[in-house]
Amino acid sequence: MAKQCADILEQPEAAQSPLGRLAKLAERADAARLVSALLYASPPPRDGGNGSPEWSEADEALGRALQDMDFLDRSFAKLESGAEGELADRARRAKDASDLILQWVRQAARYRSVAALNKVGDHVPFDPAKHDIDGDAETGSLVRVVRPAVVRGSEPQQVVLVRGEAEVE
């Protein structure tokens, strides 16, 4: 995977940035969102700048990237299951490139203490502070996660960065 990315980046193409060439390899519109979140989500400055509006926006962008990781994985799984020949090879290479980018996003999230609470499909107690829901649900009743909530920090000072989506089953 690293070799494939290095091969793409080492090709002399003055007209396109290195990140643009990687995104081209991935052939996924969502890869651009992940790269964008990665670029804005680096470790905070040592002067304690965690509370700045720029960091809040960066953390929210990082949270949205974390929310969409399951979608990206499912999309590649569908693509790979139906691909044959050269298309299968391209799908595998694109998945490898996206895995590399996702690894960077996860690392940036760890630096910022940002995490998704659950995975798509998990059954969790409904919490109106963490979930949006289409329909009615009682607080504490079990719902299915459609998109996970993303938080910064840990209990009891956990902050919801991006509300998740859930559905009543």
Which residues are paired to 123 by β-bridges? Answer: 144
Tokens of 65: 């990237």
Which residues are paired to 166 by β-bridges? Answer: 133, 145
Let me know: does 164 contact 146? Beta carbons within 8 Å: yes
Q: Is 43 helix (H, G, I), strand (E, B) or coil?
A: coil
Q: Tell me, what's the pLDDT at 138?
A: 94
pLDDT digits (tens, 9 = 90+) for 37-95: 555 554 444 434 455 667 888 899 999 999 999 899 889 989 988 889 999 899 889 99
pLDDT digits (tens, 9 = 90+) for 84-99: 999 989 988 999 999 9
Say if residue 132's pLDDT is above 50: yes
- Across the range 160-169, mean pLDDT stands at 94
Q: Tell me, what's the pLDDT at 161?
A: 95
Let me know: does 149 contact 131? Beta carbons within 8 Å: yes
Say if residue 33's pLDDT is above 70: no
Judged on CB neighbours under 10 Å (0-12, 13-18, 19+), 113 is middle
Q: Which of 117, 127, 19 is nearest to 66 (CA)?
A: 117
Q: Tell me, what's the pLDDT at 59?
A: 92
Kindly state the percentage of the chain with pLDDT values over 70: 69
- Nearest-5° angle of CA 35, CA 39, CA 43? 130
> Is the model more confident about 6 or about 64?
64
